[in-house]
Amino acid sequence: MRLFSALLNDVHFQIKYGFYFLYTFFSAIYIAVLLVCPQEYKKTVAAIIILSDPAMLGSFFIGGIWLLEKGEGLHRYWVISPLRTLEYILSKSVSLALISTIAANLIVAASLKHDVNYAMLTFSTFVGSMVFTIIGLIVATYAQSVNQYMILVSPLEIIITTPPILAAFGIWYPALDVFPGMALWHLINYSIGKTNHIEAWLFPVLLLWFSAALLLSYRRIPPAMQTEGGNKV
């Protein structure tokens, strides 16, 4: 119940701060791009768009959310409220994964229509977005400003997205599939019908990354919230 309340509040927060407007705006642009894209490139472009935007946008937004809440002094409240650390992390990541998944499905439904496995697309985008959002949340705890956050998170994003982008151009090493960006890339490709075969072990890879990110953030968030007030704990 408390997690549900926190989730509703985060969705409310994202609407108030214009996140839904931004996702709608960018989704409309992506749909337009895909509609005019030549048929032979359409699925590749769609896969890149879904990976780089709906799935990964959460990792940028979460930095803003964390720093905004910090600026408003809310972290001092969270540490003495009944809201548990796990509930805090899940409500943030699920709420952003929700909007990412809706955007990914809308883009695909409006531009590809055929050969789409929506259940797989929903699973991939949802879990992938949660992984990247939680990684972004951990990074955000080390940032003092949005600019500093962008400096810290951008290299990480480049490391995560470079292998899939290279794979889109045919440069691919199987060992890279253990990284979340690559696992997600394969899952997206399969879900939009670009490939008709998927390695079963890519699901646990993504879920393992999710578990690892969750565990790390669970350890990092409480001390990060307590640093407010001028003294490091």
Partner 1 sequence: MISVHNVSFRYPSAKNNTINEITFNVKQGEIFGFLGPSGAGKSTMQKILTGVLRDYSGTVRVFGDEVKNRTGGYYEKIGVDFEFPNFYNKFTAIENLKYFASLYSSKTADPMTLMEKVGLHNDAHKKVGSFSKGMKMRLGFVRCLLHNPQLIFLDEPTSGLDPANARILKNIITEQKKMGKTIILTTHNMHDAEELCDQVAFIVDGRIKAMNTPQKLRNADSNTRVHFRIAVNGEEAERDCLISELGKSSDFQLALRDGTLKSIHSEEQSLEDVFIRLTGRCLQ
Q: Does 17 bind partner 1 (CB under 8 A)?
A: yes
Residue 19's identity, in one-letter code, is F
Alpha carbons 163 and 219: distance in angstroms, whole number? 29
For 151, what's the count of Cα atoms within 13 Å in the CB-facing half-sphere?
A: 7
Give start and end residues of each alpha helix (H) in 169-194: 180-191
Q: Does 194 bind partner 1 (CB under 8 A)?
A: no
CB of 73 to partner 1, least distance (A): 3
Tokens matching residue 133: 């959002």
Query: Using CB under 8 A, which of the segments 47-55, 79-87, 171-179, 198-206 binds partner 1?
Result: 79-87
User: Nearest-CA neighbor of 119 among 131, 111, 127?
Assistant: 127
Check if the beta carbon of residue 162 is closer than 8 Å to that of residue 176.
no
Q: Supply angle C-alpha 154, 157, 162, rounded to 5.
A: 125
CB of 31 or CB of 214, closer to partner 1:
214
Q: Does 39 bind partner 1 (CB under 8 A)?
A: no
Residue 50's identity, in one-letter code, is I
Query: Using CB under 8 A, which of the segments 5-13, 135-143, 149-157, 158-166 binds partner 1?
Result: 5-13
Q: Does 219 bind partner 1 (CB under 8 A)?
A: no
Query: Using CB under 8 A, which of the segments 11-19, 43-51, 151-159, 212-220 binds partner 1?
Result: 11-19
Q: Does 5 bind partner 1 (CB under 8 A)?
A: yes
Query: Which residues between 59 and 78 bind partner 1 (CB under 8 A)?
Result: 72-74, 76-77
For partner 1, which residue of 84, 112, 117, 150 counts as binding (CB under 8 A)?
Answer: 84
CB of 18 to partner 1, least distance (A): 10
Tokens matching residue 5: 């309340």
Alpha carbons 104 and 122: distance in angstroms, whole number? 8
- What is the binding site for partner 1 (CB under 8 A)? 1-2, 5-6, 9, 12-13, 16-17, 72-74, 76-77, 79-84, 226, 229, 231-233
